[in-house]
Amino acid sequence: MQLSARELAALLNGVVEGDPEIQVSRPSRIEEGGVGTITFLGNPKYEEYAYTTTASIILVHQAFQPKKPVGATMIRVADVYLAVGVLLSNFGGNDSAPSGVSPQALVHDGVQLGEGVSVGPFSIVEAGAEIGENSYICSQVYIGKNAKIGRHAFIYPGVRILHDCVIGDHCIIHPNVVIGADGFGFAPQPDGSYKKIAQVGNVLIEDHVEIGANTTIDRATMGSTIIRRGVKLDNLIQIGHNVEIGENTVIAAQTGIAGSTKIGKSCRIGGQVGIGGHLTIADGTQMQGQSGVTGSIKEPGTAISGYPAIRHSEYMRAFVFFRKLPNLVRRLEQIEKWINPEGKRIPDQ
């Protein structure tokens, strides 16, 4: 597909600066470029590439003021990353899959398939399951008994959705996600062993949720583990039993959330964050990567860092002193030598 700068500007609600008739057929990274491609400048760290890229068109913010001549035709937009999302959707994405059940799939009697559903080779759909219209189930997917999947879902290869779990409309679940494995529930016994506690709840995922590869979401002990509407989960995330994640929260890779914690709406959680169990996290909380959260966050919009996590502003002030510790120790040793030149032991206070 080829589009001109004029057509792209209309699509992206942008303004052309340069040749409006120049054509592009695919996107490219700003470092690589290439004639006939379109790229973007979304991060100021990459500004130097804007002056050297060989791409034909470059998306920039409407307020961008170049320090040098830009060879590419610019399209100025209000939100570069939003425009890139629209752009990539038009240059590709998931191709429309043909509907129908593969002869190599196993779909049990009593399964309800909506109009336009596709089930790929070697997938298994157990009795009592429901799949909504125009959902695409790739190959080697397992859908357990009485599980429900909404409309326009896209389930990638290797996903396991276990019995009684519920997936909403327009959800995207990437390869090897496991939804509904048992929560980590064991009761200590007098002899030091542990007795398994049955996990009889389920997982409820609302609409427009995207879940990254190899993420695991445990079923509730009782009731539901809940992922609210619009949540975006990265790869390799562990969500424990009875956790609830509020709508439009985003969580980066390798984060772990212990059981029964409630996370509010529109939170932003960095990579490798550890969140303890039975906590309450207020709406709009921001957690820097590798934070260790051991207590509830009650004030909305709080930014935290470190372990144990404290307010980000306090952490940064403390870090200034932490960096100075080696010099402070050396100065203290020099002072001790000055006031105690004979090296006599100074009694502890």
DSSP per position, 242-288 = T-EE-TT-EE-TT-EE-TT-EE-TT-EE-TT-EE-SS-EE-TT-EE-
Residue 174: C-alpha distances to residues 23, 90, 91, 209, 297 (Å): 33, 21, 21, 11, 31
Question: 61, 241, 278, 312: which one is catalytic?
Answer: 241
Residue with tokens 């409407």: 62
Q: Which amino acid is at 340?
A: N
Angle 267-218-277 from CA coordinates, rounded to 5°:
55
Residues linked to residue 4 through DSSP beta bridges, in sequence order: 23
241 among known catalytic residues: yes
Residues linked to residue 74 through DSSP beta bridges, in sequence order: 17, 58
What is residue 83's three-state secondary structure?
A: helix
Phi-psi region of 127 (alpha: psi -120 to 50; beta: other; left: phi over 0): beta
Please list the active-site residues. Answer: 241
